[in-house]
A and B are shown apart, each in its own frame.
Chain A
Amino acid sequence: MTACLSLCGVSHEFEGVTALSDINLSVSQGECIALLGPSGAGKSTLLGLLDRRLKLGFGEAQVLNKSLSKDQRITRKDRSEVGFVFQEFALLDRLSVYQNVMNGRMGHTRRWPSLWGWFETQDHLIVARALADVGLSDFADRRADQLSGGQRQRVAIARCLAQEPRLILADEPVSNLDPSRAEKLLDLITSRAHEDGVTVIFSSHQPQLAQRFADRVIGLRDGKIMFDSPAAQLTQKDVTQLYDGFHPETDLRVVN
């Protein structure tokens, strides 16, 4: 399988505080990976680095055959190939649901016409499909600030799907959704990995969902990789150690 990304000795600091420490990781195209770990483990930092929003501090990294080093020029195309589902949704409240999802197409649209709101038929079709996929077709004309938290999260996911990236990074993409909706949407995101060969990396606090939807589960704690194992081989012991003891919400048997 072709490599999607590789990290070698990657470390990252925020004002002297270590967020990631000596991370070595290699991911093949089309793999679906779940990142587990307590808050502050470095999950968001790792995803931010891969999305190139954070600058690489130490180590070497490649994403989709492009180095993440500081002097590497990042083009619109590079960015559009990596989609990101933000934990806080990052929607524009005054814009419609439709336009928020269309914003995910900006890396593909023609630059100047898009400034006047002129998008091509293909873009409209893709946005409509993304909205249908997350079950929000009827809300297309609604302003984003008129939606519930769960609906806003679905808009954020639709925006990422409309981007048609080769790598999807999702920072706790289903944390605000009820269990059945969460499963449906994770199924939708991860099916892109299995059907279209898109690489998916999502972070979560729910080991059951990670085990069920990912091929591979990586446990992060204090900026270090604690375990990296095929989802089927994830044990309760791994999870309990990762979260510093047993908690009902990290009980793998809930799904098993």
Chain B
Amino acid sequence: MTRNLIWILIGGAVIWAGLSADISTDKLSSAAPRLADFLARMFPPDWSVWPEILKGLLETLRIAILGTFFSVILSAGLAVLASEKLFPHLVWRPVRAFLAMIRAIPLIVVAMLMVGSVGLGPLPGILAITFHATGMLAKFYAEAIDNVASAPVAALESAGASRAQQLRWGIWPQMAPVILRDTIFRFELNLRESLVLGIVGAGGIGLYVQTYVRSFQYDKAAAVTLAIVILVLISELVAVIVQRRFS
């Protein structure tokens, strides 16, 4: 009964969305030639703007690196407070709720707020990424802490290991691969997300995409887009290599 109701609700939602959205076949049929025209104007990409592209990419990379760095530091502290194992629920529940709230605010909104408060440039971008990424990373780190198996740590304690030794040889070896994986994953996300920061004036390559598209220089926009794709692919490759090494 409940299952049928769920299917009816899902079906109803799709139909409602379809009816209310402005979908007409005329628009779709004329889309193809327009798209073709758009793509034709993008090719061949104009690589003469490579100094700007490089500058933008490096700035984006810097924002992602620093944003990740600061969010790792903040997350390490918050994760301890958000750990079910280390703190009573009166502490970890509010901390987790706070982290969920942070995650719920879209990056672009945070970026606009930061631009409003500290002005244009990469600084608001770094602050926005730090704030946004901490919501996710602290939750992941807290889960890594909570998933540490207690028996090997108890074995170390039983052998006479100090608290520091238990941390180093019992807890850290279990957490390290998880933390590394989560941090790399978050860095990749930060890199992708920081590409759009430039659109609201928070630094990075996004600014150039915006500028070239608005001024109808699609061949230059194409060059920037390709450069972004290459950067993301490289970062993914590096992530895979690092994770394979440390799994």
Taking Cβ atoms with an 8 Å cutoff, the residues of A that contact B are 51, 53, 76-80, 82-84, 86, 88, 90-92, 94-95, 99, 103-109, 111-112, 114-115, 159, 163
Contact = CB atoms under 8 A, between A and B. Distances in A.
A103 B177 contact: no
Contacts of B174: 92, 94
Nearest to A81: B160
B173 A92 contact: yes
B159 A79 contact: yes
Contacts of B151: 86, 88, 90
26 contacts: A53-B154, A53-B157, A76-B161, A79-B157, A80-B159, A80-B160, A82-B158, A84-B155, A84-B158, A86-B151, A86-B154, A94-B177, A95-B173, A99-B169, A103-B155, A103-B156, A103-B159, A103-B169, A104-B159, A106-B160, A106-B162, A106-B165, A107-B160, A107-B161, A115-B165, A159-B155
A77 B177 CA distance: 32
Contacts of B159: 79-80, 83-84, 103-107, 159, 163
Interface residues of B, number: 20
Which of B152, B155, B165, B169 has most A Cβ within 10 Å? B155
Q: Dominant SS at the B interface?
A: helix
Contacts, number: 77
Contact of B152 (A78, A90, A107): A90
Interface string B135-153: 0000000000000000110
Interface of B: 151-152, 154-162, 164-165, 168-170, 173-174, 176-177
B245 to A, nearest CB: 13
Contacts of B164: 111-112, 115
Contacts of B170: 92, 103
A83 B165 CA distance: 17
Given A80-B160, A163-B159, 7 more contacts: A77-B160, A91-B155, A103-B170, A106-B162, A115-B165, A115-B168, A159-B155
A78 B161 CA distance: 11
Contact of B156 (A78, A94, A106, A108): A106
B158 A94 contact: no
A76 B155 contact: no
A99 to B, nearest CB: 7
A91 B152 contact: yes
A247 B207 CA distance: 80
B152 A106 contact: no
A137 B137 CA distance: 41
